[in-house]
Chain A
Amino acid sequence: MLRKDLLFNILLPSLYTFTVVFLSALGERRFDVYFSMLTLEYSVLYALFRPKRKGREIMLPILLFIFFIFVAMRVAEVLGI
């Protein structure tokens, strides 16, 4: 494994763990907040390290798709739809 790929796979769970611990310590109970942070961290790390994948990258589009669903639900909730 290339060093940048190893770094990606080490930093990703580290950031995830830190984020979950930090948000739960703040008393956050909304899953979409956690998921948004996970998606953001994955996107930033992917943009920085561009890990080599077997075939195409599938996780990032899936995470972004789910993220936009949560955004749409939140917007609908605000608009009262």
Chain B
Amino acid sequence: MRRGDILGIFLVFWGLSLSIYSYEVLGDIPLTALGAGAFVTGISLLSTVSKSPYREAFDLLLKAYADNISRVLEEFGASSRAVYLSNGSILVPLGGSPRKVPSKIQNSLIVGERGGYYLFIQSPISSEDLSPDIETSLHSVLVDSLGLCDSVMVSRNDEKIILKIKNSRASQVSARFSQVLGPLAAHFACSIVAASSRANYSLEDVREEKGDIIASLVMIDAEKGSSF
């Protein structure tokens, strides 16, 4: 049993005892209120999620996802920054700088046409459940659902978006993954931004500062509702 639960149980019983004793025996209202406050605090501690029992399995799944993607990127020698599409998929340019995003994308690993081929990767982020507001979506997925960071701040300037992911808890990824897709938390954040805003974005720059990740994205194609 973790320390928070022990403290919570103690506060619940202590608060209840103090309230009842103060009210019935001492007739002291402030002490009764203090006991009630301790009781409420104890309940709050007991009902707060410390760590999901599936956290370890989830972390392993994420790591396996990152490792598998890294191997594919390594095999194809991908080194350019990825393009995050509005439908939750990701295009990694092969052989140099990316060209215009192809309008039709087949459901295969390598897509494109002569002069511009891409690796086609599907991210775990679905556009169906996301709010059109980027900050709400980022907070809902990264902080509330996945617990990958403490908070996300968004700064917008025309077609550029800068994200500051505070205190990222995602596991470390390979250098190749980080170079092409960004650190894991930034990778998911970029997918969420593209899916939420229904636009395609390219990861322009990523850097890490004292546990925080700062990523800048550029909108590359305002075409919405592309079908594959």
Partner-B contacts on A (CB < 8 A): 1-5, 8-9, 12-13, 16-17, 19-20, 23-24, 28-31, 34-35, 38, 42, 50-55, 57-59, 63
Contact = CB atoms under 8 A, between A and B. Distances in A.
B4 A59 contact: no
30 contacts: A1-B4, A1-B49, A1-B50, A1-B51, A2-B143, A2-B150, A4-B150, A4-B151, A5-B48, A5-B49, A12-B41, A13-B38, A16-B41, A19-B37, A20-B34, A23-B30, A28-B30, A29-B29, A34-B33, A34-B36, A35-B36, A51-B44, A51-B48, A53-B49, A54-B47, A55-B47, A57-B47, A59-B40, A59-B43, A59-B47
B20 interface: no
A20 B34 CA distance: 6
A65 to B, nearest CB: 14
A80 to B, nearest CB: 24
A51 B45 CA distance: 10
B29 A16 contact: no
B116 interface: no
A9 B45 CA distance: 7
Contacts of B151: 4
Contacts of B143: 2, 4
B144 A34 contact: no
Interface of B is mostly: helix
Size band of the interface chain B makes with A = 20 to 34
Interface of A is mostly: helix
Contacts of A59: 40, 43-44, 47
A81 B50 CA distance: 48
B29 A2 contact: no
Contact of B44 (A3, A9, A19): A9
Given A1-B49, A8-B44, A31 B167 contact: no
B147 interface: yes
Given A5-B48, A53-B48, A59-B47, A12 B150 contact: no
B82 to A, nearest CB: 28
Contact of B37 (A1, A3, A20): A20
Q: Which 5 A-B pairs have the closest CB atoms?
A: A16-B37, A34-B33, A24-B30, A13-B41, A52-B49
Given A2-B143, A24-B30, A53 B47 contact: yes
A58 B44 CA distance: 9
B79 interface: no
Contact of B32 (A3, A17, A31, A42): A31
A16 B34 CA distance: 7
Contact of A52 (B30, B32, B144): B144
Given A13-B38, A52-B144, A63-B40, A1 B150 contact: no
A9 B150 CA distance: 16
A42 B151 CA distance: 22
Given A9-B48, A51-B48, A53-B48, A38 B30 contact: no
